[in-house]
Amino acid sequence: MKWTAEQLRLYAVTDRSWLRGKTLLEQVEQALHGGATMVQLREKELDETSFLDEALQMAKLCHRYGVPLLINDNVEIARLSGADGVHVGQDDMEAASVRGLLGPDMIVGVTAKTVEQALRAQDAGADYLGSGAVFGSATKRNAKPMTMEQLRDICDAVSIPVVAIGGINRNNLSELTGTGIAGVAVISGIFAAGDIEQECRLLRSIAEKVVAAK
């Protein structure tokens, strides 16, 4: 699937902490209905067989909506499932190695918390960066908050798009105006919502305004 920076606008990162009787697939479909433009499947606990089975189903679902699916950290699952790419953190496989394994056409996203990390990831072939935690994090308790100035410096330093992540929700998203981001990656702000579809509609609307105002 060909993709554009606009598909980073509202980037839903999965978390099974708030299933509340639904399946993750059902929740992701609600997010897609509401306007999520990219999905990252993030599984820390599943065994490889279950993870692959879920990724195969998730890829079919996302592609039905014309939305790219990325796999968190796991290059092999991405290749086998028909996903569109991988996102790796600073403690995971090097971006250059990921690019070498996936080839030129799959999407490679890299977490970057400093300008130095951002430039290194860009040079290694990253397609976009995830930077934060801009407002702390409900899912990573040890995530250090990033200042708006630090985020702006990263956006200014690279030519590839940057997605803000970390504690983003409907109440604080607009504070990212003027930083130069291409979009926002949201976890609990989407999946902990009572009405995921409606929450995505609202987040997408605010994100479009934030990005347009840069």
* More confident call, 43 vs 1: 43
| Angle at 150 (CA atoms; ends 165, 137), nearest 5 degrees | 30
Burial string for 39-72 (b: 16+ CB within 10 Å, else e) reads bbbbbeeeeeeebbebbebbbebbeeeebbbbbb
| pLDDT on residue 182 | 98
> E strands, the chain, where?
10-13, 38-41, 69-72, 85-88, 107-111, 128-131, 162-165, 183-186
pLDDT band at residue 136 using 50, 70 and 90 as cut-offs: confident
> Which CATH number does the domain housing residue 170 bear?
3.20.20.70
- Read off the pLDDT of residues 23-63 as tens digits, 9 standing for 90 and up: 999 999 999 999 999 999 999 899 999 999 999 999 999 99
pLDDT average, residue stretch 108-129: 97
For the cut 90, the answer to whether the pLDDT of residue 1 exceeds it is no
Q: Which of 5-19, 137-151, 157-171 shows the lowest mean pLDDT across its residues?
A: 137-151
- Read off the pLDDT of residues 53-111 as tens digits, 9 standing for 90 and up: 999 999 999 999 999 999 999 999 999 999 999 999 988 889 999 999 999 999 999 99
- Read off the pLDDT of residues 189-212 as tens digits, 9 standing for 90 and up: 999 999 999 999 999 999 999 999
Number of domains in the chain: 1
> E strands, 97-176, where?
107-111, 128-131, 162-165
pLDDT average, residue stretch 105-132: 97
Q: Which domain holds residue 28?
A: 5-212
| pLDDT on residue 214 | 66
